[in-house]
Amino acid sequence: MNLLMIAAALAATPAHQTRTCEKLTSDLDNLSKSLAMNFAEGIADRRRSGSTVREAEYNNLLTRVRLTMDLMRDNHCRMPTSVPTGEEYVGSALKCRTDMLEAQLQSATLPESCNISKWQAKK
């Protein structure tokens, strides 16, 4: 009886499940971009206090990656074939960070290279 109820519930929610999986996949991609930015920000910053804060941020991002992947698994979403590390966005993150440092010298606007919605994963 319980198996029939579970099967009916799963069959009744494919549209919701698809939207949920799309959202979670997008969230995971954005977390990967955040991991790349965390890395890029750490290259130029050798202060101990900056390193400690960045390490805490990095650990929080990894926790969010794990929770997102757990939600993807629980919602029967297609799982990624590799662990998100941010490596696929490091080039974009480094360009953004360099442009940010240059922009600090010229203006207070965020450089176009920092618009993460336009970043493409390195294949």
Q: Which residue ranges make up each domain of the chain? A: 15-118
Question: Residue written as tokens 């390490």?
Answer: 55
For 55-103, the pLDDT digits (tens) are 899 999 999 999 999 999 999 999 988 888 899 999 999 999 888 888 7
Percent of the chain whose predicted confidence (pLDDT) is above 70: 76
pTM above 0.85, yes or no: no
DSSP summary character for residue 73: H
Q: Contact, 51 vs 42, CB < 8 A?
A: yes
Whole-number pLDDT of residue 12 = 46
CB atoms within 10 A of CB 10: 11
Work out the mean pLDDT of the chain and round it to a whole number. 82
Whole-number pLDDT of residue 108 = 63
